[in-house]
Amino acid sequence: MPMQANLISHDLRYVDRQRNHANVPPAVLSERFDKMMQNSTDSEDMTRSLNFFNLDALRDKAEEFFGATCTGCYLIAQGGFNTVYILTFKDHDDVVARLSASRIENPANKNQELVVERKKSECAIHRFLAEKTTIPVPHIYYFTPYFDNPVGVPFMFMERVHGQTLADVWFSLSSEQQIKVFNSIIGYNAQLLQLEFSAVGFLYHGDGGFTVGPLGSSCSDGRVLPGFRGPFTTTTSYLLTHAEAHLHSIIHNIENWKAQRLEYAWNNCGADGISAEYATTWLQLFCKGIRGLSAEPISAVLYHDDLSLGNVMVSYEDPTNVVAVIDWDGSSIMPLWEDFPLQRFIADTMWEEDDKNLANQGRSMQKSLYSKANPKWAYSRLNLGDITILAHSGTMAGYSREFINSRMLLWYEDRCNQGDLEEIRSFNELKSFIDGSS
């Protein structure tokens, strides 16, 4: 595919929300990152990953686009999927350059089509958030989602937001400060819960405005396979497609599935606890059960793919003041009842381990606010959220037979107790299979 550059803004406006924040020199940030990586077991992989792209071409493009001389290019971060530089200029504000390659994500080993869709959607999400919410996100000046460009990978130029990640300061904050910043985060989530869509998929933007299209690849959950991408307009199509993708991944790549069982032996009670034959039969019956459910319209909202302490930036002067929520890469429009992305942040706080009272307070605040924002939050008529995890790719590899079966039976028995036996009768064969294999 020929190179195509997509411009988010031509006027180069700079949303200077950080005017009063400390401006840490890029060289200092780069030195800190370098020291951290020297002590990391990933150091060699990171160094190797820097060969995936052409920094000279990146600087040339920056100079052409911004009309200013680039005076420096500082490596300041690398996550699981992206590498981040700060570019400095003569007579122009600093700019963040974010490139789609890292020590984990080698472009040569990825399904590039899914990555391209992921990058297109990320830029659409930034635009959506800026237009529809008060969630602070960096402004994107320029991006190209394609690999066929002189830099060698998809990349974007973004506003530099001056701040530190919440992960840097979280454990030095008082309980009152933690609750204050937590309240801001769940307030942002509540805004998203009020913006409903009628389909599940990736968010895109075109001449007709915002649309929901096929899913690309998630950065935190390997649920999507080519051919199983949607978009999905009913609960059954969403669940069934994920279960079929899960089944497909086992049938067509048994050795990889066995390797995953071995990798997660610490959590699945041993690699031999579930055979490929057992997993295949189980998922075939699960798919049969889903097909028997009524096809109800779906209500969906945008969820951040990795809402964690590391993806929230706060002010240097006031660490309870959120200045940006970053890294929307891989985020998608998901069913309202599949709310596990909203639970990740409270898990990341470590309250559950450090302070049960804070954990309970946080969950209470979250439930109250989210329920007011959208009464349908975390609800489906048949409580489908309880079995969604069973459809996702990786469940049969990562969990034990006991966990998977007990989860399924608990849902089945609960629905029967609620008077839904006729509606879930299509799952009877799976229940019999589980009962006979226990």
Q: Which two tokens stand for residue 182?
A: 């937590």
The answer to whether residue 6 sits within a structural domain is no
Q: Which two tokens stand for residue 328?
A: 């929307």
Alpha-carbon span 37 to 86, nearest angstrom: 17
- Beta-bridged to residue 95, according to DSSP, are 87, 159
Contact 65, 157 (CB under 8 A): yes
The answer to whether residue 213 sits within a structural domain is no
The answer to whether residue 392 sits within a structural domain is no
Q: Is 40 helix (H, G, I), strand (E, B) or coil?
A: coil
Contact 315, 321 (CB under 8 A): yes
The answer to whether residue 51 sits within a structural domain is yes
Q: Against a cut of 0.85, is the pTM above it? A: yes
b vs e for 162-181, b when ≥16 Cβ sit within 10 Å of the residue's Cβ? bbbbbeebbeebeeeebbbb
CATH code of the domain in which 149 resides: 3.30.200.20
The answer to whether residue 432 sits within a structural domain is no
The answer to whether residue 101 sits within a structural domain is yes
Alpha-carbon span 388 to 187, nearest angstrom: 26
Contact 210, 124 (CB under 8 A): yes
- Report the number of distinct structural domains present in the chain: 1
Residue 143: partners with Cβ closer than 8 Å, 6 or more residues away: 5, 6, 8, 119, 123, 154, 155, 156, 157
Alpha-carbon span 349 to 184, nearest angstrom: 14
Contact 114, 65 (CB under 8 A): no
The answer to whether residue 95 sits within a structural domain is yes
- Beta-bridged to residue 211, according to DSSP, are 204
How many other β-carbons are positioned within 10 Å of the β-carbon of residue 90?
9
Taking alpha carbons only, the member of 93, 424, 191 closest to residue 286 is: 424
The domain of 112 spans: 25-161
Question: Tens-of-pLDDT digits for all 438 residues of the chain?
Answer: 333 444 443 333 333 333 333 578 999 999 998 888 888 777 788 888 888 899 999 999 999 999 999 999 999 998 888 999 999 999 999 999 999 988 776 766 677 888 899 999 999 999 999 999 999 999 999 999 999 999 999 999 999 999 999 999 999 999 999 999 999 999 999 999 999 999 999 999 988 899 999 987 776 555 555 567 889 999 999 999 989 989 998 999 999 999 999 999 999 998 889 999 999 999 999 999 999 999 989 999 999 999 999 999 999 999 999 999 999 999 999 999 888 778 888 888 889 888 999 999 999 999 999 999 999 998 888 999 889 889 887 899 999 999 999 999 999 999 999 999 999 999 999 999 999 975
The answer to whether residue 419 sits within a structural domain is no
